[in-house]
Amino acid sequence: MIEIVRAVADAEGADAVHGLFVRGKKYYVEVIRRDEEDKIQWLKERPADILFPKE
């Protein structure tokens, strides 16, 4: 797996590697290119705030 991520990072840039996942026993690396960053909808709240809301 590490080799897959390194290969993608070398080709696309280390900051483009977003995630690693498995489908059908095959490994995939999720890549986000700089020109696609504006299409991402980020969470407004932190995940911990969603899972453990303050009362």
> Taking 80 as the threshold, does the pLDDT of residue 49 lie above it?
no
pLDDT averaged over every residue in the chain:
74
- 8 A C-beta contact, residue 20 and residue 4: yes
pLDDT at 2 (0 to 100): 75
Averaged pLDDT, 34-45: 66
CA distance 45 to 30: 23
Q: Is the pTM of this model over 0.75?
A: no
Q: Which of 21, 39, 38 is nearest to 29 (CA)?
A: 21
What the block records as the tokens of 19 is 């995630």
Averaged pLDDT, 7-29: 82
pLDDT at 43 (0 to 100): 57
Q: What is the DSSP string of the chain?
A: -HHHHHHHHHHH-GGGEEEEEEETTEEEEEE--GGGGGG----SS-HHHHHS---
